[in-house]
Amino acid sequence: MTAVPTHCPYCALQCATTLHPVEGPGAVEVRPRAFPTNRGGLCRKGWTAPDVLTVPDRLTVPLVRNAAGELEETSWDDALDFVASRIKSLQAAHGRDSVAVFGGGGLTNEKAYALGKFARVALRTANVDYNGRFCMSSAAAATNRAFGIDRGLPFPLADLGGADAVLLVGSNLAETMPPAVAHLQGARGAGGLLVVDPRRSATAGLTDDENGIHLQPTPGTDLALLLALTHVVLQESLADNVFLGERVDDPDLLIRSTASWWPERAERMTGVPAATIRRAARVLAAAAPVHGGAGAFILTGRGAEQHTKGTDTVTACINLALVLGLPGRVGSGYGCITGQGNGQGGREHGQKADQLPGYRSIADPAARSHIAQVWGVAAEELPGPGKSAVELINALGTADGPRALLVHGSNLLVSAPNLASVRERLSALELLVVADVVPSETALLADVVFPVTQWAEEEGTMTSLEGRVLRRRAAVAAPGEVRSDLAVFAGLAERLGIPRFSADPAEVFEELRRASAGGKADYSGITWARLDAGEALFWPVPSEGHPGTPRLFADGFATPDGRAHVVPVDHRPVADDLSGQAPLYLVTGRLLQHYQSGAQTRRVPELVAAEPEVFAEIHPRVAAQLGIGDGRPVRLRTARGSMVLPARITPDVRPDTVFVPFHFGGAEAVNELTNDALDPVSRMPEFKACAVQVTAAELGATGVPA
């Protein structure tokens, strides 16, 4: 094997790497290579990514649950025949929507496209959604209604380097995407790194009096803080009035909707001093082009978005950016830090309940007609919009809900909120089928498990957080009897009487190109030949001669009138707010060493040694009041459940806040406690804030918490 250029399998930064052969079956060594996003850097997860290729418990043969309730090995033909037979019988008895499909933001573009097509053509079910609903859906909803299009970053990430100020709202880049921190150095040097986070995270720690400002609000009050920042810009005549007049539909609405949010009111709500709010607003405004600054960016992450008001919080960020005249300007703008490896491409090509490929609406007759023609079916045969992720999960196994679920690229028993309810609903199914690379918590509950390929064993494309389409390349052969998800879809579709599915990723991509043509996310001008020649193209690319679109909105927004649309928003409390029985906020988040549900990283010895178990960060003052010592067990209890875990005493969290990482499974899964209340627009669950009771846990005679 010669060196193979590809990209890291983890986050949406998609760091460029080269894989080199080493001794041992399926073994490779990874080396970073120069690329605009990672600039030759790689984080700890990326360096150890090859370890996941050869983990001892890698799934290599299909498994089926026998009469004794145990998973046993079977052949591919028997597994596919069994699943297809059960699908046919369930749909015959209960209708087409009795079978559901759940995808993932880590699937390649080809897999995400094929998954959506399989659901709508082979199964003809409306019930399809994916775990991106847990990640970027609030930002997607907000940008779509303001700008008419959703691309995480509508500009290259490298543009950040020239800015005087960057406002990060709910994003901990230093731990989630460490190589991206290099792009913040310009803002730090100018004293303009502004970080909104209730924790003194690694990213917030990059700010100080010289480098920037850490705004540390009460959990769930980011929206109030943003309204106050906008109020200051407007009231102190720092707004870009020319931009507002020329490129925004209703500037007066911005003024009216923020008029009552003076900093002193926001201070009472958020805990951030009014003086700090004013200072941050002035720093951000000074960096804006209207005041001669080098540029300013406002970026959101999951901390702002995973709330029942997440869409409105992102909208407040967009409104602040509009007031400052940032969107569509070179060197300035608003963007969303996409999390999952293909979180951007994964939400563009049809695995979302309300979408068809090319980021088209499934309710749009013209979109349905176009996609039906590509797929060779009648438009009226395509199902309509289905249930969003949490609503789909809550319907599983109910009288009129899905009786079967096929899961690809998601570990629901760790990543979904309110896990007791999730476990109950999955257990109520008559058929659970999981395609995975390792026996994840969800796979271990399945009736059938399909062993599928992972990153270094497959060809395909991914789309980075910038909307840059990249080539993923195979470097090693898959072990045992492992097949691609594409082969699973093709095998099942053939058995269901729909033999129009290819297992060849190049053929699938060619079809994806045709399906996306004319859509918002237009890939029709992207070919594998162009990608293999070294081009990494920003969509939309409407023709093969088109150079791609690194920056959106230069000539107008993708709205009917070409203007950005103002949506007035206002603060409201979290769905599960504090009470006398639960007087603290529980906040969840990521660690440097682990990724998503941890199914991969918890199998890497180096990463496990660095962070082996879950923990709860608690402020020293609270710990002293409750008699909790560092490393001692504490019990966290919310309205949905309780768990015992060791305390980590630190001043890096607010006294009203408890932080727990969400990468761990089983008894260590914090999503047993989180709230599945939904944002009314995006249908995003409120992972990021709920009321929690904290007590010292009693130890039994054996040293185990009682």
Looking at the chain, how many residues does it have?
706
Res 686 pLDDT > 60: yes
pLDDT band at 6 (very low <50, low <70, confident <90, very high): very high
Q: Tokens 């000539």 label which residue?
A: 555
Tell me, yes or no, whether 382 and 503 share the same domain: yes
Tell me, yes or no, whether 112 and 154 share the same domain: no
Tell me, yes or no, whether 365 and 511 share the same domain: yes
Residue 577 lies in a domain: no
Model confidence pLDDT, tens digit, residues 372-431? 999 999 999 999 999 999 999 999 999 999 999 999 999 999 999 999 999 999 999 999
pTM: predicted TM-score of the whole model, two decimal places: 0.96
Q: Which of 704, 688, 630 is nearest to 220 (CA)?
A: 688
Cβ-contact 508, 488 below 8 angstroms? no
pLDDT at 110: 98
pLDDT at 403: 98
Q: Tokens 């990463």 label which residue?
A: 607
The alpha carbon dihedral of 140, 351, 596, 42 has a sign of negative
Tell me, yes or no, whether 70 and 50 share the same domain: no
Residue 557 lies in a domain: no
DSSP state of 217: P
Write down which residue in 336, 364, 395 finishes a domain: 336
Tell me, yes or no, whether 455 and 424 share the same domain: yes
Residue 600 lies in a domain: yes
Residue 150 lies in a domain: yes
- 196 beta partners: 169, 215
Q: What does 518-584 look like in DSSP terms, one character per residue?
A: TSSS--TT--HHHHHTT--EESP--STT----SS--SS--SSTTSSBPP--------SS---SS--E
Distance CA 508, CA 505 (A): 5
Residue 574 lies in a domain: no
pLDDT at 702: 47
Residue 569 lies in a domain: no
Model confidence pLDDT, tens digit, residues 592-645? 999 999 999 999 999 999 999 999 999 999 999 999 999 999 999 999 999 999
Q: Which of 64, 293, 14 is nearest to 166 (CA)?
A: 293
Res 160 pLDDT > 90: yes
- Residue 329 belongs to domain spanning: 139-336
Q: Which of 395, 307, 403 is nearest to 353 (CA)?
A: 395
Res 510 pLDDT > 80: yes
CATH number of 635's domain: 2.40.40.20
Tokens of 107: 């699937």
Number of domains observed in the structure of the chain? 4
Distance CA 323, CA 564 (A): 11
pLDDT at 263: 98
Q: Three-class SS of residue 592?
A: coil
Tell me, yes or no, whether 290 and 146 share the same domain: yes
The stretch 170-185 carries a mean pLDDT of 96
Res 703 pLDDT > 90: no
Distance CA 164, CA 185 (A): 9
Residue partners of 42: CB distance under 8 A and separation at least 6 = 8, 15, 17, 30, 32, 179
Tell me, yes or no, whether 50 and 94 share the same domain: no
Percent of the chain whose pLDDT exceeds 90: 95
Residue 702 lies in a domain: no
CATH number of 43's domain: 2.20.25.90
Largest CA distance in the chain: 73
Model confidence pLDDT, tens digit, residues 444-489? 999 999 999 999 999 999 999 999 999 999 999 999 999 999 999 9
Query: Worst-scoring range by mean pLDDT, 9-23, 84-98, 235-249?
Result: 9-23
Tell me, yes or no, whether 511 and 594 share the same domain: no
CATH number of 182's domain: 3.40.228.10
Tell me, yes or no, whether 496 and 642 share the same domain: no
CATH number of 89's domain: 3.40.50.740
Q: Tokens 């020293």 label which residue?
A: 620
Res 565 pLDDT > 50: yes
Model confidence pLDDT, tens digit, residues 365-386? 999 999 999 999 999 999 999 9
- 584-589 and 657-661 strand pairing: parallel
Write down which residue in 477, 509, 538 finishes a domain: 538
Cβ-contact 122, 499 below 8 angstroms? no
Counts of helices then strands in the chain (DSSP H, E): 23, 26
Tell me, yes or no, whether 246 and 234 share the same domain: yes
Model confidence pLDDT, tens digit, residues 355-366? 999 999 999 999
Distance CA 195, CA 473 (A): 36
Tell me, yes or no, whether 331 and 389 share the same domain: no
Res 13 pLDDT > 80: yes
The stretch 312-328 carries a mean pLDDT of 98
Residue partners of 362: CB distance under 8 A and separation at least 6 = 354, 355, 356, 368, 382, 383, 384, 385
pLDDT at 371: 98
Residue 544 lies in a domain: no
Tokens of 620: 């020293």
CB atoms within 10 A of CB 306: 27
Cβ-contact 300, 672 below 8 angstroms? no
Tell me, yes or no, whether 385 and 452 share the same domain: yes
Residue partners of 585: CB distance under 8 A and separation at least 6 = 198, 218, 219, 220, 574, 578, 656, 657, 658, 689, 690, 691, 692
For the chain, give the mean pLDDT. Answer: 96
Q: Which of 91, 272, 109 is nearest to 197 (CA)?
A: 272
DSSP state of 326: -
Q: Tokens 């090859």 label which residue?
A: 50
pLDDT at 167: 98
Write down which residue in 538, 560, 595 finishes a domain: 538
Cβ-contact 386, 80 below 8 angstroms? no
